[in-house]
Amino acid sequence: MSVVPRHVLSIADLSRPDIERILGLTARCKRGRTAFARALAGKTVALVFEKPSTRTRLATEVACARLGAASVTLAGGDLQLGRGETLEDSARIFSRFVDAVCWRTAGHDRLEAFARASAVPVVNTLSDLEHPTQILSDLFTIRERRHGKRGWPALAFVGDGGNNMAHSWLLAAARLGMDLRIAHPSGYAPDPAVLRRARAEAARTGARLTVTRDPAAAATGAGVLYTDVWVSMGQDAGRAARLKAFRGYGIDRRLLARAAAGAFVMHCLPAHRGEEIAADVTDGPRSVVWDQAENRVHSTAAILLWCLGTRPSTALRASA
């Protein structure tokens, strides 16, 4: 009997217990590199990068090495997809060669088509629609920073409400019952389908999802201020127009002063100081961006353990 692979294409693919399991594994991976040193020995993970990457590539390659898995890194131009091979045929071939696929691409529909035909887990390491691996790392960073406090703080996302980070935060907040405020300029609202899905889930979990054009209102009383670049990969042609539209939506000391006492600032990087975030905030005492970046390694390792750990190995049982 075949086993249905555990894909992570969207944060919405994960139940609340799934998220808690991954966060727990992340904590154990961070506490000691040797705890899972051979957990994925004999496994091979394909890492496909159709978009440039710094943190994601480092995190996935280092995570595989720490878990004892071999990794094969491929650029988009290395694949036969550009010569007419279908995503489904590629998925069937990958399934015969490797134990999991981590894919960074543009169209989310490409990931979904590939995953439907794949017999092994497929992990979305970034698409234009969502970035679930970043969100899982961010959730761990928030919990770590709060030193065991129960619940989730109110989070204000200030910037492009239609980018993959805003979408993933909507879905994660809805699933976890969080208070999320998204502040965006006119014309940069979340995808309507993502927003409908998040609001439907929020009605079940009690999450509070607020979408506004007022960054000050979003930041007031928030425990976390979060931002992302205003001009993402592939949007350089419209850079001037975007910078004009986003004026007033940067995180600076004045906006941070509206947040709750002890609030901290997050950015998934790369940061453009002086645009979406002020330099003295990025590099200031209330920034956790460097912990956030480091945690990508531990979180990625945890995601791979969750995807491939259908039955706990000796290493998994020993460290549980």
| Residues designated catalytic | 104, 131, 134, 228, 268, 296
Burial class (CB in 10 A: 0-12, 13-18, 19+), 186: exposed
The CA–CA distances, whole Å, from 309 to 55, 135, 301 equal 24, 21, 11
Q: What is the DSSP string of 197-223?
A: HHHHHHHHHT-EEEEES-HHHHHTT-S
Contact 232, 51 (CB under 8 A): no
Question: In whole angstroms, what is the distance from residue 123 CA to residue 101 CA?
Answer: 6
Question: In whole angstroms, what is the distance from residue 50 CA to residue 126 CA?
Answer: 10
Helix (H) or strand (E) holding 156: strand 155-158
The CA–CA distances, whole Å, from 298 to 27, 31, 32, 74, 313 equal 8, 9, 10, 22, 19
DSSP 8-state symbol, 189? P
Helix (H) or strand (E) holding 139: helix 132-145
Q: Residue 183 corresponds to which amino acid?
A: A
Bond into 270 cis (ω within 30): yes
Q: What is the CA radius of gyration of the chain?
A: 19
Q: Residue 267 corresponds to which amino acid?
A: H
Q: ∠26-175-2 over CA atoms, to 5°?
A: 70
Q: Give the three-state DSSP class for 289.
A: helix
How many of the other CB atoms lie within 10 Å of CB of 150? 6
